Amino acid sequence: MVTLYDYELSVNCYKVRLLLNFLSISHQLHPIDFFPGWEHKSEWFKEVNPLGHIPVIDDDGYVLRDANAILIYLATKHDTLNSWYPVEQPSLLGETAQWMMFAEGTTNTASAARLHDSLGYEFDIDACRAGAHRLFRTLDEHLWFQEQRNLNWVCSAEAPTLADLVLFPDVILSEEGGVNRVSYPAIRRWTDRFRRLPRFTLMAGVLEAGILT
Amino acid sequence: MFAARCEDAALLDLWHPVAAIPDVRERGPVSTQLLGQMLVVSGQEGEEISIKEFMAPMVHGQVFNQGREVSLPVREAFGFVWTSLGAPPERLFDIPEFHETDRWSENSGSFRVHTSAGRTVENFLDLAHFPFVHEGYLGEQPYTEVKDYSVTFDDREIWATGCEFYQPIAAVSATDGQVTKYTYRLAHPFCPLLYKTSPVDPKRFDVIGIFVQPMTEVRACAHQFLSLLDETNDDATIKRFQAIIFGQDKPILENQVPKRLPLGSRAETPITADKTSIQYRRWLTELGISYGVIRDNTQRDSEPCSEIF
């Protein structure tokens, strides 16, 4: 059984919850009082993760930290189709890794802006928002060109990959950090497609996709 | 970042919450804003808590050198630090349940929200949104009816009594759906509290409140206050429930336009379920408040629209 050390409003924890549900992996949540209690910085939690970060998973004694590491591990272990992390297709795997790195940027800009605006973190808010817009512009153009090739997802595959999964939370919650998305129509269509995937799960603050008309 | 300065005596003279005590003691100093003014709340363990107002703009927490510092009054109540920019009264409202020893009383987070304090208070007072915004938790479709309730105002507090709502998970201690009885109390223009049937002891009430700090006209900080009867759940589980509820409210609240609360009787169309809000808007009107509200029916805010759906 996988135990996820989790905080509901954390984008990085949400990434792991999404994959656990997409792959129907049996798991339990161990809520961490991240805010306002800062339990991730407590003495007991530092024995779980000396860096004092969440998410962390404990898979029957195998402890792993960092959202990307956890996702790669879980996808490789449980995804029988090897579509989320396509280890058998080198070029597609390269693309997936490239966009997962890109998502580090959206987490450090769009989601940092959200932490500033919601939880009062002291970040340079103007730099966070400007950085998020720069990356969203690139993503929007990329997704538009993908659509021209009849591709629905960030990477050139039929099915979504971890690249879509790690980008989605930063993008969908960006308004909470004052990063408006009205100028990114291809991103909008992509978020709708992602939210209509089977076994997609919401988090507080993420709304369901509109009904197809 | 400049923000309009508040000129409303009624707001300047109020006690306002500015930080949770542990945030100051363990992780302070806390930089924040109150009614457009920059404040720093400091006082590590063993020191007196002090609050300084900086009469100059700050950029990323750095005060310009020529800034003038003013010390503000400090009051500690219900786990929070309170201050005032004017001449505050001796008295702050009380929450008798806070002093009962068998309760779990704690702050469950100070969450900032991009809307006015008035909008934040009204969202807290609203029963009708439960089945839509908190579906599966505080409400469930098709149980959307808001039964009639009574509202009274005694010049100091608003009370809404006799409220009832069907809730699938009324609190983290709930094991089954229940018809929850609510009493709402506005103990202060920005401090709404609710008393709801405890899933543990139907004769007593859980008390939940938000102490809303008007940071600017269109930014607020909701300091969550809880006083619950719950011996089984740990802190993280109780706070998680509150974080989910708040996280669900946030996008809805931030997309209400205009962000400043309209007080004009024809600005928005209330229904019977909004009785408490109607009384609340009347109260703000009588207090002569103009900060964070739109007093006139003809005034309009120009807010950019956003995309959340």
Are B307 and A118 in contact (CB < 8 Å)? no
Chain centroid, CA B232 distance in Å: 27
Q: Largest Cα–Cα distance of chain A, in whole Å?
A: 52
Could you tell me if A108 and A182 lie in one domain?
yes
Q: What is the pLDDT of residue A166?
A: 98
Query: What DSSP string runs through B231-245?
Result: SSS-HHHHHHHHHHH
A211 in a domain, yes or no?
Answer: no
The answer to whether the CB of B151 falls within 8 A of the CB of B279 is yes
ipTM above 0.95, yes or no: no
**Cis peptide before B142, with omega less than 30 degrees from 0?**
yes
Which among A17, A52, A78 is the end of a domain? A78
pLDDT band at A73 (very low <50, low <70, confident <90, very high): very high
A188 touches chain B (CB under 8 A): yes
Q: Are A34 and A128 found together in one domain?
A: no
Q: What is the pLDDT of residue A205?
A: 95
Residue A210 lies in a domain: no
Containing structural domain, residue A27: 2-78
Query: Nearest CA to A179 among A99, A119, A105, A106?
Result: A106
| CB contacts < 8 A (A, B) | 85
User: What total number of domains does chain A contain?
Assistant: 2
What is the average pLDDT across B99-118?
92
Residue B76 has pLDDT above 90, yes or no: yes
B154-to-B151, B157, B160, B273, B299 alpha-carbon distances in Å:
10, 6, 12, 21, 30
pLDDT (tens digit per residue) in B43-58: 988 889 999 998 765 5
* Among B94, B6, B97, residue whose Cα is nearest residue B53: B6
pLDDT in tens, A171-200: 999 999 999 999 999 999 999 999 999 999
- The answer to whether the Cβ–Cβ distance between B243 and A204 falls below 8 Å is yes
More confident residue, B280 or B106: B280
Q: What's the average model confidence in pLDDT over B158-164?
A: 94
The verdict on residue A204 lying in a domain is: no
The pLDDT of residue B55 is: 74
Which whole-number Å values give the CA distances from A136 to A177, A181, B114, B308, in the listed order? 14, 8, 22, 15
The CATH architecture that domain B9-83 belongs to is: Single Sheet (2.20)
Any idea where the domains of chain B sit in the sequence? Answer: 9-83, 96-294
Separation between Cα atoms, residue B53 and residue A119, nearest integer Å: 21
Could you tell me which of A138, A169, A153, A134 has the C-alpha nearest to residue A19? A169
Do B306 and A207 touch, CB atoms closer than 8 A? no
B112–A119 CB contact, under 8 Å: yes
Q: Are residues A39 and A6 in the same domain?
A: yes
Whether the ω angle into residue B189 lies within 30 degrees of 0, i.e. cis, is no
Does residue A203 sit within a domain?
A: no
CA B267/CA A211 separation, integer angstroms: 30
| Of the candidate ranges A9-13, A109-113, B156-160, B293-297, the one whose mean pLDDT is the lowest | B293-297
User: What pLDDT, on the 0 to 100 scale, is given for residue B61?
Assistant: 52
A210 to chain B, any CB pair closer than 8 A? The answer is yes
Percent of chain B with pLDDT over 70: 91
CATH, residue A159: 1.20.1050.10
DSSP label of B269: -
Return the number of other C-beta atoms located less than 10 Å from residue B261's C-beta. 26
Q: Tell me, yes or no, whether A150 and A101 share the same domain.
A: yes
Q: How many CB atoms lie within 10 A of CB B158?
A: 22
- B27–A contact, CB cutoff 8 A: yes
Smallest CA–CA distance, residue B216 to chain A, in Å, is: 13
Same structural domain for residues A71 and A99?
no
Which secondary structure element, helix H or strand E, spans residue A97, and what is its range? Answer: helix A90-106
User: Å from A88 to nearest chain B CA?
Assistant: 36
Per CB-CB distance under 8 Å, the chain A contacts of B60 are 122, 124
Confidence of residue B297 (pLDDT cuts 50, 70, 90): low
Domain co-membership, A74 together with A114: no
Strand order in the sheet with B16-20: B16-20, B80-83, B75-77
Q: How confident is the model over A91-103, as pLDDT tens digits?
A: 999 999 999 999 9
For the stretch B120-145, what's the b/e string if a residue is b when 16 or more beta carbons lie within 10 angstroms of its beta carbon? bbbbbbbbbbbbebbeebbbbeeebe
pLDDT in tens, B175-227: 888 888 889 999 999 999 999 888 788 888 999 999 999 999 999 999 999 99
Domain B96-294: give its CATH superfamily: Naphthalene 1,2-dioxygenase Alpha Subunit; Chain A, domain 1 (3.90.380.10)
Say whether A207 sits in a helix, a strand or coil: coil
Question: In Å, what is the CA distance from B242 to each residue of A30, A209, B210, B226?
Answer: 16, 24, 11, 9
Q: Are the Cβ atoms of A7 and B240 closer than 8 angstroms?
A: yes
d(CA A167, CA A173): 11
How many C-beta atoms lie closer than 10 Å to residue A35's C-beta? 22
Domain harbouring A68, CATH code: 3.40.30.10
- In the numeric block, the tokens 């001449």 are attached to B87
Query: Do A39 and A123 belong together in one domain?
Result: no
Same domain, A65 and A148: no
A52 touches chain B (CB under 8 A): no
Residue A48 sits in the same domain as residue A95: no
Assigned domain for A191 exists:
yes
Inter-chain CB proximity B309 and A120 less than 8 Å: no
One domain for residues A109 and A182 = yes
Q: Which two tokens stand for residue B195?
A: 């008393």
On the question of pLDDT at B94 being above 50, the answer is yes
Cβ atoms within 10 Å, residue B183:
17
- What mean pLDDT do residues A112-140 have? 96
User: Do A105 and A140 belong together in one domain?
Assistant: yes
| Residue that finishes a domain, picked among A33, A51, A78 | A78
**Is residue A7 within 8 Å of A32, Cβ to Cβ?**
yes
Same domain, A127 and A185: yes
Q: Considering CB atoms only, which of A8, A36, A176 is closest to B240?
A: A8
| Confidence (pLDDT) at B273 | 87
